[in-house]
Structure 1
Amino acid sequence: MSFIYFYLMLLIHPYLAMWWRSFELADRKSWEALIPVYNYYVAFKVFCKKGWWAVLLVIPGVHLVMWSVVNVSYIRRFGYYSLLDTIQGIIFPYILFFKIAKNQDKMLPETNWANSKEVAQREWGDHLVLFLSLPVIGHIIALGIGAVTRARPGAKTKVKEWGDSIIFALVAALIIRTYVFEPFRIPTGSMERTLLVGDFLFVNKLAYGPKVPVTPLSYPLVHNTVPWVTMKSYTTLEKGTYTRLPGFGKIQRYDVVVFNYPAGDTAVYDPRMPYGLMGHEYEGIVNNEAFRLYREASQTRFGVIENYYRDSLKNAGIYTDELLDRFVNERASFEYIKDLSSWKEKARKMIADDKVTMDNQLGQLIKHHGIIYRPVDKRENYIKRCVGMPGDYLEIKNSILYVNDKPAEVAKHQNLLYLANEPGFATSDELYNKFGIEKSDLHWDGRVVYGVHANLETIAKVRKTYPNVQFNIDVKPQYVPDGNGVFRASEQVDNLSYFPKDINVSNNVSNFGRFQVPFKGKVVDFTKENIAYYRRIITAYEGHKLEEKTDGIYIDGKKTTTYKVEMNYYWMMGDNRYQSADSRTWGFVPEDHIVGKASMTWFSSNPEYGIRWDRVFKAIK
């Protein structure tokens, strides 16, 4: 339901609640209840002692909280204190407002906290308010303090006192978190060494302008999942459209940016994982599962094929295990690609209906909670460096990024993967103690170090200590199609791993073909080569129906050869280039996914080595 309906509800609420009749019972004029906006100012002033709180009704994400606050405060001044009364005041207060208007009893004085009867009347209602403000923990604090302190005669109970304090602290925190800045913890090493696992930072939402929440009706101060409970923290009962308030500036190239995960609209919910998110990308999971299902279904057939190739290679006198694997894999890939869409559909159905996927690390099938669909503002928060602005031409050649055909600026701590010619040249502890290289930066099998994710400065230092060790960047060449522009079947399977995840486009972690970042107003002339880059833009981000038929391309049922882009897009990459799930995997970041600018680390801790004091209150560059 759109915002507009909720704001209309707020406007007509005083009339449905017959405030014009009960205002007189509170020694106010009836006509004051009939003037929109002003009626809320009067209600907050009379029943909450804070008329200016009416302003908070304008703020999405806070408006319904304040609506409940004024209603509960209102009905309590007319004697409705019980648990059931409080629930009604929060959710549906109209029955009680009707009773107030009908009975015509004068407003009661404020609660006499020295009167045990009045305190007992409101006890469970106060407990409910405290519970909704801060479940369990709030009661532990309030009752714990109450047990070790002496109650002052006539003072509020600790439950009431803490309920009031916490709910308005949460309102203030909610406003700050939503519209000013938000704390964020670095969970992975994709930005090392610019940002490290265990860094706690502030995201400045005023830098680019704060987004108005699309789903403001949610549990406060959590993102998309209630901690310790496998349930989402929000409801789409109230849903808005993308709106960004004015900010201090716009995204600049090479800013470190926090954004909602573009591929997070569809996710697999695994209760074993942090926040329930399995993997990084639903489409990637589908591709993996489709190929696995195909290989399992064809196991017997490919056993026969494997025997055939083994005998043929031996008869030719050129047999090796590697050559056999290559022939068999090529044959398997050919038959898989030939029926790719069918196997992907089977994978989607299995993930959705059977709720199982393969855990590649454990090598076994695991059960999960199924597929969840998340609105933009409730997708996982990611942090990367913005290396491509709307309209930029980008290309990656041998791990060097080019922006508009010129080498891009290299961040001070940008890491590449350097492979050593002498595996095991040092232990992980030696590398940490001498060079600050953490385990997450190492390419190793748990025992032998054979590669280092590091910047040029660090590699130079390592070379001085280990002069006999040579380091070379691990470059993965792009596949080259044959004379007809067709890739080998096994290469087509590999092409599905990187954006745009098309069998006919070869990109990888260190080499990426030249393309342009889309911008608002750009008119795309569709070709066989470029349609892959725009599929997700047209469908997932800009909400159109795309059909690719034999006679051409159809958008929203109409055949067309062009498309006009509706939003600006950005290209985000991690500074730890070989250990980052970024735009190379899932593509462009739409402007409506931008959350804010990473401004400062306020705390940092290494799980093994303790607090990193040199990173406390450090600006992010």
Structure 2
Amino acid sequence: MNWKFSTKKPENQPKKSKAREWFDAILFAVVVSTIFRGLLFSAYAIPSGSMERSLLVGDYLFVSKISYGARMPFTPIAVPFLESTLTTDSVKTYWDGVKLPYFRLPGLSEVKKGDVVVFNKPEEVDKPIDVRTLLIKRCQATPGDKLTIMNGQVFINGKASPNAAAAQTSYLVTTDGRDINPDIFQDLHIEIRQQMAANVFEMIIPTENLSILKSYSNVKSVVPVYQPKGEFDLQVFPHNARFKWNEDNFGPLVLPKKGMTIALNDSTMILYKRAIEFYENNKVAQKGNAVFINGKLAKSYTFKQNYYWMMGDNRHNSLDSRFWGYVPEDHIIGKAMITWMSVDSSASLINKIRWDRIGRLIR
């Protein structure tokens, strides 16, 4: 038997117009890019200096969603590729009339200590989770960990946690009265936070450049700046004088873990009420020493999801978990993988692109 195949189109099939061909091509591109962006990778721009010098303002990153598993949308009806609000918060690009429960596809791994993670800002409880502001920080503690910060050094379960290779913090710099060449600050990526006296400055200095600054003859001393232990900072989580914590001396604090049960008392309610109420969607009321959850008297509570602790590598120029607390698992978007572009907005036109950062893996 002979088989004959024909590639000719039926003569009576109408030919597509140019406009229809363009529409089909654009529709296909939108569908493919939406799937790619929603399930595999998305792009992210660094807007602030909280991760310097690990990441720089103007870096553009690829964020892997398959690393932890792609999170499905909570608000499926939204204008694609646009921010959640335009111009002012009153102009929304989404409709929250339809809300879906949290669901995440299987991932290649779990969030690990040291990962650079993109997530939604937990503070913005008045918005659906997936339209909250995007943040990028380094994971310092994972569910069940006991976190302590002593003089700026993070300890996890009693052991000092490795600092990022390009981490930086504040130092008190005292000179002999002679000026430091301003070009040095630019070359060494040093930021002057404040001047306390004619020859005393607080500076944010990258670790790798610390010894170079100390070597200059007009620099008398360079010592780390820390808030003393026991000095209460109201801006720091949990914003309660019972816990006299600050950004440099903090904890100990145990990160909630799915299935972990805590007794409910004055102290645990200060530390965990926000998670129980806002992140796990319960109605919480306190009457004297009694705690009511969803209208029922409760002596204990079992967490429904995992929580993480995220901090910027630029420790004294970062609003992070030290200020707003835990990052719930359902807020996590993906793992920052690679810098695909880097633009220095303050440089001249010919030097705007930081070529040495393109294609750099994020560690």
Both structures adopt the same fold (TM-score exceeding 0.5): yes
The separation in 2 between residues aligned to 1:161 and 1:237, in whole angstroms, is 34
Q: Which residue of 2 aligns with 1:182?
A: 42
| 1:425–1:216 CA distance, 2 compared to 1 (3 A) | farther
The answer to whether the 8 Å contact 1:181/1:202 transfers is yes
The answer to whether the 8 Å contact 2:84/2:131 transfers is yes
Q: Which residue of 1 aligns with 2:355?
A: 613
The separation in 2 between residues aligned to 1:519 and 1:513, in whole angstroms, is 17
Query: Secondary structure, in 3 states, of the residue corresponding to 2:97?
Result: coil
The separation in 1 between residues aligned to 2:84 and 2:178, in whole angstroms, is 43
1:443 aligns with 2:193: yes
The separation in 1 between residues aligned to 2:172 and 2:24, in whole angstroms, is 59
| 1:216–1:576 CA distance, 2 compared to 1 (3 A) | same
Q: How many residue pairs were aligned? A: 346
The separation in 2 between residues aligned to 1:198 and 1:172, in whole angstroms, is 27
CA deviation map 1:264-295 (0-9, x unaligned): 223xxxxxxxxxxxxxxxxxxxxxxxxxxxxx
Match for residue 584 of structure 1 among 310, 322, 326: 322
The answer to whether the 8 Å contact 2:178/2:218 transfers is no
The separation in 2 between residues aligned to 1:576 and 1:449, in whole angstroms, is 21
Structure 2: 5+ residue runs without aligned partners?
A: 1-11
Q: Aligned-pair distance for 1:384?
A: 0.4
Match for residue 249 of structure 1 among 109, 117, 129: 109
The separation in 2 between residues aligned to 1:394 and 1:219, in whole angstroms, is 40
1:381 aligns with 2:134: yes
Q: Which residue of 2 aligns with 1:214?
A: 74
State percent identity of aligned pairs: 36
Q: Which residue of 1 aligns with 2:219?
A: 468
The answer to whether the 8 Å contact 2:39/2:70 transfers is yes
The separation in 1 between residues aligned to 2:180 and 2:345, in whole angstroms, is 21
Q: Which residue of 1 aligns with 2:243?
A: 505
CA deviation map 1:40-72 (0-9, x unaligned): xxxxxxxxxxxxxxxxxxxxxxxxxxxxxxxxx
What TM-score comes out, normalization by structure 1 length?
Answer: 0.53
The answer to whether the 8 Å contact 2:65/2:335 transfers is yes
The separation in 2 between residues aligned to 1:411 and 1:573, in whole angstroms, is 11
Q: Which residue of 2 aligns with 1:453?
A: 204
CA deviation map 1:337-364 (0-9, x unaligned): xxxxxxxxxxxxxxxxxxxxxxxxxxxx
The separation in 2 between residues aligned to 1:516 and 1:553, in whole angstroms, is 21
Q: Which residue of 2 aligns with 1:199?
A: 59
Query: Secondary structure, in 3 states, of the residue corresponding to 2:69?
Result: coil
Q: Which residue of 1 aligns with 2:7?
A: none
The separation in 2 between residues aligned to 1:163 and 1:245, in whole angstroms, is 31
Q: Aligned-pair distance for 1:449?
A: 8.8
- What is the letter of the counterpart of residue 468 of structure 1? V
The answer to whether the 8 Å contact 2:76/2:98 transfers is yes
Of Structure 1 and Structure 2, the greater helix share is in: 1
Match for residue 392 of structure 1 among 123, 126, 145: 145
The separation in 1 between residues aligned to 2:55 and 2:305, in whole angstroms, is 29
The answer to whether the 8 Å contact 1:215/1:235 transfers is yes
Query: Secondary structure, in 3 states, of the residue corresponding to 1:219?
Result: coil
Of Structure 1 and Structure 2, the greater strand share is in: 2
Structure 1: 5+ residue runs without aligned partners?
A: 1-108, 114-155, 267-373, 481-490
The answer to whether the 8 Å contact 1:600/1:620 transfers is yes
User: Residues 396-411 of structure 1: matches in 2 within 5 Å?
Assistant: 396-411=149-164
Q: Aligned-pair distance for 1:530?
A: 2.4
User: Residues 201-600 of structure 1: matches in 2 within 5 Å?
Assistant: 201-226=61-86, 231-266=91-126, 374-422=127-175, 425-426=179-180, 428-433=182-187, 435=188, 437=189, 441-444=191-194, 450-466=201-217, 468-479=219-230, 494-495=233-234, 497-600=235-338
Q: Aligned-pair distance for 1:461?
A: 1.5
The separation in 1 between residues aligned to 2:178 and 2:296, in whole angstroms, is 61
CA deviation map 1:137-184 (0-9, x unaligned): xxxxxxxxxxxxxxxxxxx33x44433222221111111111110000
Q: Aligned-pair distance for 1:452?
A: 2.4
The separation in 2 between residues aligned to 1:507 and 1:427, in whole angstroms, is 37
The answer to whether the 8 Å contact 1:426/1:449 transfers is no
Q: Aligned-pair distance for 1:207?
A: 0.4
What TM-score comes out, normalization by structure 2 length?
Answer: 0.89
Q: Aligned-pair distance for 1:466?
A: 4.7
The answer to whether the 8 Å contact 2:85/2:91 transfers is yes
The answer to whether the 8 Å contact 1:547/1:554 transfers is yes
The separation in 2 between residues aligned to 1:508 and 1:181, in whole angstroms, is 36
Higher RCO, 1 vs 2 (CA within 8 Å, ≥6 residues apart): 2
The answer to whether the 8 Å contact 2:146/2:156 transfers is yes
User: Residues 161-180 of structure 1: matches in 2 within 5 Å?
Assistant: 161-180=21-40
Query: Secondary structure, in 3 states, of the residue corresponding to 2:101?
Result: coil
The answer to whether the 8 Å contact 1:188/1:197 transfers is yes
The separation in 2 between residues aligned to 1:417 and 1:424, in whole angstroms, is 21
- What is the letter of the counterpart of residue 227 of structure 2? K
Q: Aligned-pair distance for 1:602?
A: 0.6
